[in-house]
Amino acid sequence: MKVLLLFPPSWHPSQPYLSLPSLTAFLKQNGVNDVVQRDLNIELLDILLTQKTCGEFYHRITDKLRCLEGYLTTSSDYQDERKTLIEAVESLPWLMNQVERAKNILRSDAFYNLDNYMEAVHIVNESLRLMSSLFYPSTMTAVSNAMRFSVYSSNDIMQAIHSERENIFLSLYKEYVLSSLLEWTPKIIGISITNTSQIIPGLTLARLIKEQNKETHITIGGSVFTKLIEELRRVDSIFSLADSFIVFEGEHALLELCAQVDGKNDLKKVPNLVYRENGVTKVNDNFFSEDLNILPTPDFNGFPLNLYFAPSLVLPIQTSRGCYYRKCAFCNLHLDHRNFRLRRTDLIMEDIRKLSREYKTNFFFFTDESVPINKLREISQCLLENRDEIKWMGGVRFEKALTGDVLEKMAKAGCLKLVFGLESYNQRVLDKMKKGTRSDVVKKVLDECLKAGISFHLYVIVGFPTETEGEALETLHFVMNEKYINSAGYSCLPSLFGMEKDSPIVNNPSEYGLTSIRAPKGEDMGLGYLYEVKEGMSPGKAEEMYRHMISKLSETLCPFPYNYSMADGLLYLAHRNTVLNPDRV
């Protein structure tokens, strides 16, 4: 049984994602040894960011502009496209001679020179933006892509995956990827779609494979379609691209799918599976939650670990699945995992040591929604007792238990940065959000972080229903605290409130002063809603406040490297500490 697991664009290029290595390790542990995993996101970026590929795009753009000049039209769309192509023709010759140097800066110690780093990021993103002008109005950067097609509409998605004119991934897959995938003749292909930026690239890939080999069973997993189970029941067209979807967690589901595809052919026995049978969509709702203490250490073999845009490898790791709090009114992340579970600390330590030894890295990113404080305490104690010289960061909640003593122990055990969901510093808004957080605890924890030498990142939500302009400005004033601004590695990223599908607020609109909630027109695969409020900032006013907050933060906070990618920020902090304290490393 040959199994091919694929991670499509677009995603942060600085570190691998955890989904495929977790699945690969579990399949191999259970006797499915012929497994290949590929990170197509980083593979394609590496191909695109070469002088040769940039040059090829330049010549194709020149030819397209020449053809376009022959049209007799003054339409605004034509003028915009022509302007974009002219910019590409003017700028790409210089960029194509710089792009490989820029890519290598991000993979070498030159990365640690902030001027070099920022220049390299700019060259990479400008090169990709201008190359994608060939598929105007589509654009792409190192971390994202955008098309005029809505990823929330099945009609738009079906148009996008067939659009030779606007879908850059059609061309890239055909030229650089498809033949190598098909020649291996896998029996099952799994595609991980964990973010909306991967929907069109991932489904484009599924379509191309299915057209070439109808016998291959294509299954799609990831958090996006976990949130779209009911929509999958109604959208028949999506099953022309994939044979099944694995929702929630995938280890046992994929293992059982292998058994059924390999001859038993009874898909109703596969947990967490959505599939078509005799023209009817079936949902196997015997949803299965994994026992984290029987899962093996993730297996990153097969990933091109030397291609990621970082001078040292940063590996993701989990101590738990799900959220132990699960009460925030705005959040639907609880849907990704049906319940909260912890992995035993001794197994986590085994994971860290095995991964560190096998892949020669001391850098780890804990990807939990929020690592429980007791687990942080236990991990730190084990790291100190065994003198494990790792550097790490992870997400946590503002808890009273996160005391100065705990933070000091974490710092000694290699913790360099923590990621907090602050959301707001106004107590009324926090209470309305059901964050379970006190503003005085927030300030105390951050002050203790500074004392312990642990940097922090703050996520902020702007425009939560009933929030006023004054309350939003109170949060802005707090995150602009001079002590935070001047501390090493501080970062803050506001986001505009969006009413997400299946978040608790949707089920109780009157409590939040909502006068209407409605699905956007034409979105049969929507993940959010439009809304109106009778108090607080309107959605339009909230967007203005969000832009104001972004502007103010940008004036004082350098967006790179700390807000560009968490892995980058971790490496920068480790390097800074090495320079300042060479005897401690």
490-510 confidence digits (pLDDT tens): 999 999 999 999 999 998 999
In a domain, 334, yes or no: yes
Domain boundary among the residues 283, 301, 334 is at 283
In a domain, 352, yes or no: yes
Per-residue pLDDT, averaged over 24-30, amounts to 98
In a domain, 163, yes or no: no
Number of domains in the chain: 2
564 band by pLDDT with thresholds 50, 70 and 90 = very low
Q: Is the pLDDT of residue 9 over 60?
A: yes
Do 267 and 393 have their domain in common? no
Task: For residue 436, give the CATH number of its domain.
Answer: 3.20.20.70
584 band by pLDDT with thresholds 50, 70 and 90 = very low
Question: From CA 108, how far away is CA 194, in angstroms rounded?
Answer: 29
Do 335 and 479 have their domain in common? yes
In a domain, 503, yes or no: no
Q: What is the pLDDT of residue 585?
A: 43
Do 242 and 348 have their domain in common? no
Q: Half-sphere exposure of residue 8, counting CA atoms within 13 Å on the CB side?
A: 28
428 band by pLDDT with thresholds 50, 70 and 90 = very high
Range of the domain at 27: 3-41+169-283
What is the Cα Rg of the chain in Å? 24
Strand ranges in 193-265 using DSSP code E only, listed in sequence order: 217-221, 244-246
Do 574 and 484 have their domain in common? yes
Q: What is the pLDDT of residue 388?
A: 85
List CB contacts of 562: < 8 A, sequence separation 6 or more. 455, 457, 489, 490, 491, 568, 569, 572
CB contact at 8 A, 461 and 499: no
In a domain, 12, yes or no: yes
Which residue, among 130, 140, 244, 282, has the nearest Cα to 200 in the 3D structure? 140
Which residue, among 343, 424, 348, 446, has the nearest Cα to 392 in the 3D structure? 348
Q: What is the pLDDT of residue 567?
A: 86
Lowest-confidence segment of 64-78, 246-260, 290-304, 535-549 by average pLDDT: 64-78
Which residue, among 317, 484, 343, 304, has the nearest Cα to 414 in the 3D structure? 317
Do 327 and 268 have their domain in common? no
Do 249 and 202 have their domain in common? yes
Do 177 and 252 have their domain in common? yes
Per-residue pLDDT, averaged over 538-558, amounts to 94
In a domain, 529, yes or no: no
Do 25 and 173 have their domain in common? yes
Q: What is the pLDDT of residue 558?
A: 74
Do 477 and 347 have their domain in common? yes
Q: What is the pLDDT of residue 345?
A: 98
Q: Across the chain, what does the average pLDDT equal?
A: 94
Do 318 and 463 have their domain in common? yes
Q: Which amino acid is at 15?
A: Q
β-sheet bridge partners, residue 145: 140
What letters, b where the CB count within 10 A reaches 16 and e where it falls short, cover 117-154? beebbebbbbbbbbbbbbbbebbbbbbbbebebbbbbb
Task: For residue 220, give the CATH number of its domain.
Answer: 3.40.50.280
Domain boundary among the residues 263, 283, 303 is at 283
In a domain, 113, yes or no: no
Q: Which residue has the higher pLDDT, 383 or 263?
A: 383
* DSSP conformation class of 237: G
Question: From CA 580, how far away is CA 453, in angstroms rounded?
Answer: 13
Q: Tokens at residue 96, please?
A: 């194509």
Do 321 and 439 have their domain in common? yes
Lowest-confidence segment of 107-121, 143-157, 327-341, 400-414 by average pLDDT: 327-341
In a domain, 137, yes or no: no
Name the percent of the chain lying above pLDDT 90. Answer: 89
Q: Is the pLDDT of residue 372 over 50?
A: yes
Q: What is the pLDDT of residue 264?
A: 76
Q: Is the pLDDT of residue 203 over 90?
A: yes
Do 274 and 329 have their domain in common? no
Q: What is the pLDDT of residue 553?
A: 92
Q: What is the pLDDT of residue 565?
A: 55
Name the percent of the chain lying above pLDDT 70. Answer: 97
Domain boundary among the residues 268, 283, 298 is at 283
List CB contacts of 477: < 8 A, sequence separation 6 or more. 425
Q: What is the pLDDT of residue 253?
A: 97
CB contact at 8 A, 75 and 59: no
Q: What is the pLDDT of residues 264-296, one digit of tens each?
A: 789 999 999 999 999 999 999 889 999 999 999
